[in-house]
A and B are shown apart, each in its own frame.
Chain A
Amino acid sequence: MNSILTINDVKKSFDGIDALNGASFDVEKGKITGLIGPNGAGKTTLFNTITGFISPESGSIKFEGEELIGKPPYEITRKGLARTFQITRSLDKMTVMDNLLLAPREQTGESVIWPIITPGKVEEEEIEVREMAMDILEFFNLDEHKDEYAGSLSGGQKKLLELARVLMIEPKMVLLDEAFAGVNPSLSNKLVDYIKHLRDDHEISFLLIEHDIPLIMEVCEDIIVMAKGEVIARGKPKEIKNNQKVLDAYLGVVHDE
């Protein structure tokens, strides 16, 4: 298996409560992998750990063979590992276009001196980035809204904007935290199509946290189930569906070990 992300024995506790209790798994390159589990299983904590927002007590997280633990979020993103948030976070008082223009890695104009010293070069880069942003906005049918404030978009459009913004990073892998929560069925189908398209045409790997089990069974080729900070099962959707451990975890059955 050609894995892009390898998580090994990651532990994290908050005030004595173990949020991650030795979680280990790897994510295959070019696949759409689902991460499910009951509330409090540690899924979002794991996302935050992978992306550098919290640092674990122990363990190892490797992205394309490179250790991520100890690196700040911005460095991890720059390696091509991008994320979205559980609650949609748009930059409300910036335009839709500016939301997208912000995302690309390594922009000359983002240093404090170059916009003053070489405005021409910065402008050239802006034109390029703007073209890319227009393409992505058209792809998501957001191009009409490009000059509107992100805060004025509907909830569904904000979901699309968040995904569009992440694509501007030109990521190799995207972590989606409940991208389908509170999304109406037609938009959720659209999101699924987008994700599949991005995987097929841009070879982006996805890891998604999701509560909508039927949906995740349909989208993901590979599913990882977490409970109480550990991975309890892994497999193809069919296998997971019939796994007694998974059913127990969701129903709260306790086994004596």
Chain B
Amino acid sequence: MILPSLVNYFIYIGIIIGIYGLFALGLNLEWGFTGILNFGHVAFMGIAAYTMAILNIAGLNLFISIIIGIALSIVAGVLIGAPTLKLRGDYLAIVTIAFSEIIRYFYINEGWLTGGAGGLSNFNQLLGFLPSQYKQIGFLIVTLALLGIVYVFLEKLINSPWGRVLKSIREDEEVSKALGKNIYKYKIQSLAIGSGIAGIAGILQAFNNYLVLPSSYKPLITFYAWIIVVLGGSANNKGSLVGAIIFVAFFESTRFLPLGDVRVGSLRMIIIGLLLILLMLFRPQGILGNKEELKLDI
């Protein structure tokens, strides 16, 4: 029965691509379109996933737990953004990465609430009502549907006057201010929406793993999103999706190298590093990025 397991494997890859695609789309809104240097993107993924798991285990309806989880990651985005978005980019980067680590240590240490290092797994399945042979494919459909909705929503927003203000903030905050825009408000909105999208990705990931674990929310995951965004081309939503496909495909294809997990893990990072160097040398705008835009930086 090699064929069904192969099909299942591709379904699994499709789900991972969807989750990373969503996660990267959120970062792309913040960085690509608004210029917010968020190095703590993974925190918002974890907040939604843990909230959902904790509330559902406590007996709350799954659907409501999901909504509250995503809402809380949005609120967290606002709360983190409010005091920090007036900071210069590099300071913001430090604050956000610190925040994401504080949150992760909270998961590890507050075991009474979060299950500690072992995480939480007793929450309901999203598609528990489906017969088991359809669960995977059903979950793929849900994931891709959410990805599609978020993508269309973002494209609409980016091409609206609202998106135009975001781009002006990315280009030159002072000009944006001088043209009468309350840039602080827009940055908070961008971070809040980006965080909400990360929250959706986090919840999907939790259902996919049947588990939420502190180690799923390491800073490394944030940098995966950065790799995807840069690879696909910043400020391009389609680029983020292409980036996610390439990134996940690369990750999965190296899985079968007969070197053992630790070595494969290190080798991956070496290869990704080399690929990024080559990308910066030969296609610095990313795969779908606009070369004309890049020339303007010089």
Report A's interface with B, CB cutoff 8 A: 51, 53, 72-75, 77-78, 82-85, 89-94, 98, 101-103, 105, 107-112, 115-116, 119, 122, 125-126, 149, 151-152, 165, 169
Contacts and interface: CB of A to CB of B under 8 A. Distances in A.
Contacts of B252: none
Contacts of A126: 161
A149 B156 contact: no
Nearest to A99: B168
B6 interface: no
A51 B174 CA distance: 11
Interface string B270-291: 0000000000000000000000
Interface string B24-55: 00000000000000000000000000000000
Give the 6 A-B CB pairs with smallest separation, nearest first.
A115-B160, A109-B161, A151-B296, A77-B180, A91-B171, A73-B177
B164 interface: yes
B165 A110 contact: yes
Nearest to B183: A74
A93 B171 contact: yes
Which has the most chain A C-beta neighbours within 10 Å: B172, B174, B175, B183? B175
Interface string B174-190: 11111111110000010
Contacts of B178: 51, 53, 73, 77, 82-85
B175 A169 contact: no
Most buried by A among B165, B171, B181, B189: B171
A105 B161 CA distance: 12
Interface string B71-95: 0000000000000000000000000
B259 interface: no
B168 A116 contact: no
Contacts, number: 101
24 contacts: A53-B177, A72-B182, A75-B180, A77-B180, A82-B179, A84-B178, A89-B172, A91-B167, A93-B171, A93-B296, A94-B164, A94-B167, A102-B161, A102-B165, A102-B168, A102-B176, A107-B161, A110-B165, A111-B162, A112-B162, A112-B193, A119-B156, A119-B160, A149-B292
Q: How large is the interface on B (under 10, 10 to 19, 20 to 34, 35 or more residues)?
A: 20 to 34
Interface in B106-142: none
B156 A94 contact: no
Contact of B175 (A89, A93, A149): A89
Nearest to B171: A91
B157 interface: yes
Contact of A89 (B174, B183, B297): B174
A155 B87 CA distance: 31
B256 interface: no
A84 B175 CA distance: 8
Interface in B178-216: 178-183, 189, 193
A16 B28 CA distance: 43
Contact of A103 (B179, B189, B297): B179
Given A85-B174, A93-B293, A110-B161, A169 B156 contact: no
Contacts of B295: 151
A110 B162 contact: yes
Given A82-B178, A93-B167, A109-B160, 13 more contacts: A53-B174, A73-B177, A74-B183, A84-B178, A92-B296, A98-B167, A102-B181, A110-B165, A111-B162, A112-B189, A115-B156, A116-B157, A149-B292
A91 B175 contact: yes
Contacts of A92: 171, 296-297
Contact of B161 (A77, A91, A122): A122
Contacts of A112: 157, 162, 189, 193
Contacts of A89: 172, 174-175
A107 B181 CA distance: 11
Nearest to B160: A115
Contacts of A74: 177, 180-183
B174 A91 contact: no
Nearest to B179: A103
A149 B171 CA distance: 12
A149 B235 CA distance: 15
Contact of B293 (A73, A77, A111, A149): A149
A152 B296 contact: yes
Contacts of B165: 102, 110
Interface string B143-171: 00000000001001100111011011011
